[in-house]
Amino acid sequence: MRRVGVAALAAALVLAPAGGAADQARLTVFAASSLTDVLPSIDGGPSYSFAGSNQLAFQIKQGAPADVFASAAPSYVQELYRAGLVERPRTFASNALVLAVPRSNPAGVRTVWDLRDKKVQLVVGTAAVPIGDYTRRVLRRLGLTSAIGNAVSQEPDVKSIVGKLAVAEADAGFVYRTDVRSARGRLRAVSIPAWAQPAVRYQVAVVRASRSRAAARRYIASLATPRANRLLRNAGFTVP
């Protein structure tokens, strides 16, 4: 019995440092909220923090501990690159906007031109978050900028927009194509003319302050593998 106890203790002492090292090496990935479903399906190992890309970029500027930053708009990660806070970004996916409505579609929205009706209540992203910026670009191209005046709320990220539409707190809202797919039947998509679509590109970069930069580079490389490309396409993204 005594020999067994000594052996078990020795094994525990050998295993304990290995477990501690694994915990310390776990990556922290800051990512746009529209990537909430797909990134963990590609790699469930990292600790993910999902939010608006503008919020995450601000946190990195303030020194928040992150290893990787994946943004829904190039501008945020490019700004960090110019400031020397991240390594060179790369594009790993793209998306498209749709006008989403609740499954019940209480306002009877059939086309984007129905937004001319002042009774159609919109939920949109704030101008600072990528989905909000893309929304305003689309409305300008469509000649529908006045529709912003019908917004019942302006949300900090796209998942908040999806949540409000799913419970019919608004009649319509602009979200990404992938968000309607991940809503699993709670939303319907109304298409936007191709000529009004903005270029929605996702860029990712290693945070220079990371203590696991080699692992962060491997994570980014994994986003370009055939398996990752398949999962991204299945989720509704387009891959380079």
How far is the C-alpha of 73 from the C-alpha of 207, rounded, in Å? 17
**Equal fold, 2-94+199-234 vs 97-196:** yes
Cα dihedral value 94, 155, 180, 39, nearest 10: 50
- The pLDDT value given to residue 79: 97
Residue 162: other Cβ atoms inside 10 A: 23
Q: What is the pLDDT of residues 143-190, one digit of tens each?
A: 999 999 999 999 999 999 999 999 999 999 999 999 999 998 999 999
pTM of the model: 0.86
Q: Which CATH class is domain 97-196?
A: alpha beta
- Domain ranges for the chain: 2-94+199-234, 97-196
- The pLDDT value given to residue 184: 85
Using DSSP, state whether 125 is helix, strand or coil: strand
pLDDT class for 29, splitting at 50, 70, 90? very high
Using DSSP, state whether 143 is helix, strand or coil: coil
CA angle 135, 131, 83 (to 5 degrees): 120
Q: How confident is the model over 29-47, as a mean pLDDT?
A: 97
How far is the C-alpha of 109 from the C-alpha of 100, rounded, in Å? 9
CATH topology for 2-94+199-234 is D-Maltodextrin-Binding Protein; domain 2 (3.40.190)
Q: What is the pLDDT of residues 67-111, one digit of tens each?
A: 999 999 999 999 999 999 999 999 999 999 999 999 999 999 999
